[in-house]
Amino acid sequence: MQTTEEGQAHTARSNPKGAQLAALTLGALGVVYGDIGTSPLYALKEVFNTGHAPLNHDNILGVLSMVFWTLTIVVSIKYVALVLKADNNGEGGTMALMALASSATESKPRLRYVLIVMGILGAALFYGDGVITPAISVLSAVEGLEIATPAFKSYIAPITLMILACLYAMQKHGTGAVGKFFGPITVIWFASLAGFGGLWVMRQPEVLQALNPYWAIHFGMERGWTTMLVLGSVFLAVTGAEALYADMGHFGKLPIQLAWYTLVFPALILNYFGQGALLLAKPEAVDNPFFLMVPGWALLPMVGLATIATVIASQATISGTFSVTKQAIQLGYLPRLNMVYTSVKEAGQIYIPSVNWMQFTAIVIAVGIFGSSSALATAYGIAVTATMVLTTLMIFFVMRYRWNYPWLLCAGSTGFFLVIELIFFSSNILKVLHGGWFTLMIAGFVFSIMLTWKRGRILMADALRLDAIDLPSFLDAIFQSPPTRVEGTAVFLNAEKSNTPNAMLHNLKHNKVLHRQNLFVTVRSHEIPWIPEANRVEIESLNHDCWQITLNFGFMDQPDVPQALKLLAHHGIEPKPMETSYFLSRDIVIPTIGSGMAPWREKLFASMHRNAADAAGFLSLPANRVVELGSKVEI
């Protein structure tokens, strides 16, 4: 549940000033920019190592020009200037944008369904990206050891997996204690990027000619269709841009914008141009221009700093995966999973053990299959470009139907970005057979699970509705000859409002008693991040000391039913904690042959439903006050 303090924190983030703005900007540097900030480790190297762009003066300037204008258009203009405006009550990310776009098109059900599918696909692609990011980032940093001595080559992959294993093992302790150090370290990282890059730019100032878009256009005209292959590697420079939007709820729009324009963007450009200057002077440095740009005395410290920076980037991806998973569960697209709240102050700091170790297992497989950052680069990019395309499409509908901008303005502004991103997407499609299949396989798996779970829940609700008994009519009938009343309060968790819960029917059948006070509680998740306490509870009297209660939660709220029920005191209802019992229906799903879903999907849904986390824990119910009664549901 969002507390008053959390609400005040969100309000403060919307217009921070002074010391708070500085603190939030520093925090944004450590979390938001970890991924894009480590791209210089491998992006330019991959452009020239593919062999599609021969290493010469014009090609170096052409590639640098493409990198500069890609960062400018995709990140500086699209994300920082436009997408950050599309906040869902202060929250960002694919699921938040999907909720914003779908709620703006409620009067158009077919369009709304398409937008929901786009949002689910975007979230699924994020999971694929979340496997590649830690693997390629840490691998590329550890590979710097090869520059110090080739003897380390056979140890690169084991060292990488050992670092990542430690990182994933630490997740259960929470990130709060470590997070405060991320910002200052990232400042040192970006200062190093700018410093070492700037030194080479001063040695070869002609590299600054690449700021002129002429060189990018010249490259495209000279290389023809080969440019599409090169763009797949150029795009590596902007991987991580989605984090600017996804993490907006943690820091607010202004700190993210300030960090980008004042430090991150200048540092990245200086470093990429510094690598280009090095290649102009020493073409043989193409094997690893990032580390070969560093003086010998600073090589090992830079490898250590790069490793820490990539761990920070990986941490941001892991935390983002937990956050997206929680949002998907709240919105009904994933089954309940065991969540551990690692901070008593920050509700957003969560740990999901199953997701943590499944992601780590996928990373181990990725490192085992690909083995190097160069090989992993072939798998990287396609999920990111697809997500960016989906974001642009959804932004169009937010602009048109929520902000009510003119159609031509919406189409013109988003169409400009869409054309550019579709070109990058097309260039990354060429990587599918060379490694892109891996991220698409992960995304396809998650997409199937999310669609199956959502569809299964609908079929299950329909099946329960067919056999349901109207609650008000049922209560009127039983109170004509009322059963024995016992002291205390019974809380019946009910998925469908106004239907008689199966748990109540079983309780009456077997125990033949009714509590003195009965609350029929329906928990509703909404497509906004936070629900204020004033709107948390809706109450309707059913007479005979029975009430229909609706509890409203946003997709970022922590569902806490006992805490929410305390708000009933304003309505004269005060259930005593030690005299309150919570009744839940434990439904067993039985797949049947029919018009529901394909047999394999029904079996998958039944398995997910059976293995979903306990509803009592998810709703924060006291374990010693819960009674579960089972029933079978055929779909």
| Domains in the chain with CATH codes | 31-455 (1.20.1740.10), 467-634 (no CATH)
pLDDT confidence of residue 464: 83
Task: For residue 586, give the 3-state DSSP assignment.
Answer: strand
Backbone angles phi, psi at 345, to 5 degrees: -100, -35
275 vs 512, more confident: 275
Backbone angles phi, psi at 348, to 5 degrees: -75, -15
Section 266-292 average pLDDT:
95
Give the whole-number percent of the chain exceeding pLDDT 70: 95
Mean pLDDT over the full length of the chain: 88
Is pLDDT at 301 greater than 60 in this prediction?
A: yes
Token pair, residue 179, equals 């997070």
The region of weakest confidence among 74-83, 250-259, 343-352, 461-470 is 343-352
Is pLDDT at 52 greater than 90 in this prediction?
A: no
Is pLDDT at 209 greater than 80 in this prediction?
A: yes
The region of weakest confidence among 14-23, 210-219, 238-247, 580-589 is 14-23
Backbone angles phi, psi at 582, to 5 degrees: -110, 125
- Whether residue 394 contacts residue 118, with contact meaning beta carbons closer than 8 Å, is answered with yes
Tell me the pairing of strands 580-590 and 546-554. Answer: unpaired
4 vs 470, more confident: 470
Give ∠ CA 275-281-287 in degrees, rounded to 5.
55
pLDDT confidence of residue 4: 40
Is pLDDT at 347 greater than 80 in this prediction?
A: no
- Helix then strand count (H, E) for the chain reads 28, 8
Is pLDDT at 374 greater than 90 in this prediction?
A: no
Query: Which residues make beta-bridge pairs with 489?
Result: 517, 580
Is pLDDT at 181 greater than 80 in this prediction?
A: no
pLDDT confidence of residue 311: 87
> At 178, is the pLDDT very low, low, confident or very high (cuts 50, 70, 90)?
low
pLDDT confidence of residue 519: 95
Token pair, residue 305, equals 């700093």
pLDDT confidence of residue 503: 87
Section 509-519 average pLDDT:
90
Is pLDDT at 463 greater than 70 in this prediction?
A: yes
Query: Which residues make beta-bridge pairs with 538?
Result: 550
Give pLDDT tens digits for 103-128.
Answer: 888 888 899 999 999 999 999 998 98
